């Protein structure tokens, strides 16, 4: 059976490792191409979009894919919606492999918001120094709140550059340590953090650092799912594929 992994996450890479050399499942990985230097998985990999639902549906039929695992980022909602629609159209089984969302613990000061625009509005009364850990694609939303000092961390620089009067850009890729995150927040005198509820361990240390310093975290909730079955680890996704 041929399987297609929609990847770009540590979960996708973990599943790719499990499928390498599998006796019954020949798998390939597709990356959207939004990261300039992606970490390539140990399987045949294509980079670039499919051209929406129609293009993905055609690809599944033309290449004889028998199952799809959507292991994209929890906030890649358009890709996930396209996968759900394309698989339903051509009758290909689909599973979502995603990390569990973070949950607030004792001492956390989370402010849950539904989207990035609401996150920007929530910043207004929360202090001057803002740590944006949201990736590079939606930084421009915060131009609506220009009277802050922004520390932006992303794998690649935002394009175009944000029109913010006062910001500093750090290019870095997780995993991050608790010691490093505490030092970063202290060095830049961060008052508030903005984060997507991505889950996982690679960037979780910032939440513990915020808890220790008493910093509020504006947490952007995940977009709603598409009614597709989910698992939270690569072994469960492999078992699903082997059971088809």
Measured distance CA(103)–CA(197) in Å, rounded: 9
Kindly tell me if the per-residue pLDDT of 123 is higher than 80.
Answer: yes
Domains by residue range for the chain, with CATH:
2-99+224-242 (3.40.50.720), 110-220 (3.40.50)
Q: Using CB atoms within 10 Å of the CB of residue 112, give its burial: 0 to 12 exposed, 13 to 18 middle, 19+ buried.
A: middle
Measured distance CA(15)–CA(17) in Å, rounded: 5
Q: 30-68, pLDDT tens digit by residue? A: 998 766 667 778 899 999 889 999 999 999 999 999 999
Kindly tell me if the per-residue pLDDT of 193 is higher than 90.
Answer: yes
Contact 7, 71 (CB under 8 A): yes
Predicted local confidence at residue 178, as pLDDT = 97
What values do phi and psi take at 65, rounded to 5? -70, 130
Tell me how far apart the terminal alpha carbons of the chain are, to the nearest angstrom. 9
Weakest-pLDDT range from 34-38, 48-52, 106-110, 122-126: 34-38
Task: Tell me the CB-side half-sphere exposure of residue 156, using CA atoms within 13 A.
Answer: 11
Mean pLDDT value across residues 102-117: 96
Measured distance CA(182)–CA(166) in Å, rounded: 22
Predicted local confidence at residue 36, as pLDDT = 64
Predicted local confidence at residue 190, as pLDDT = 98
Measured distance CA(218)–CA(198) in Å, rounded: 13
Q: What is the dihedral of CA 176, 32, 9, 65, to 10 degrees?
A: -170
Q: Checking DSSP bridges between strand 94-97 and strand 230-231, what pairing results, if any?
A: parallel
């Amino acid at each position: 059976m041929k399987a297609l992994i929609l990847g770009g996450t540590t979960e996708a890479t973990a599943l790719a490792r499990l499928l390498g050399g599998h006796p019954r499942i020949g798998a390939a990985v597709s990356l959207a191409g939004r990261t300039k230097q992606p970490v390539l998985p140990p399987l045949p990999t294509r980079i670039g979009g499919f051209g929406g639902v129609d293009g993905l549906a055609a690809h599944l039929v033309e290449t004889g894919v028998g199952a799809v695992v959507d292991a994209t980022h929890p906030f890649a909602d358009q890709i996930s919606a396209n996968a759900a629609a394309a698989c339903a159209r051509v009758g290909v089984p689909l599973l979502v492999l995603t990390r569990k969302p973070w949950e607030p613990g004792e001492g956390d000061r989370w402010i849950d918001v539904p989207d990035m625009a609401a996150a920007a509005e929530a910043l207004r009364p929360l202090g001057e120094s803002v740590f944006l850990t949201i990736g590079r694609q939606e930084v421009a939303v915060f131009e609506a709140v220009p009277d802050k000092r922004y520390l932006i961390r992303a794998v690649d620089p935002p394009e175009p550059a944000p029109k913010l009067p006062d910001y500093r850009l750090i290019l870095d890729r997780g995993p991050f340590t608790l010691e490093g995150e505490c030092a970063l927040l202290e060095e830049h005198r961060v008052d508030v953090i903005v984060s997507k509820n991505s889950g996982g361990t690679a960037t979780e240390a910032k939440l513990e650092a915020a808890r220790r310093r008493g910093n509020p975290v504006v947490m952007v909730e995940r977009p709603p799912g598409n009614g597709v079955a989910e698992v939270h680890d690569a072994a469960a996704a492999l078992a699903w594929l082997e059971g088809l």
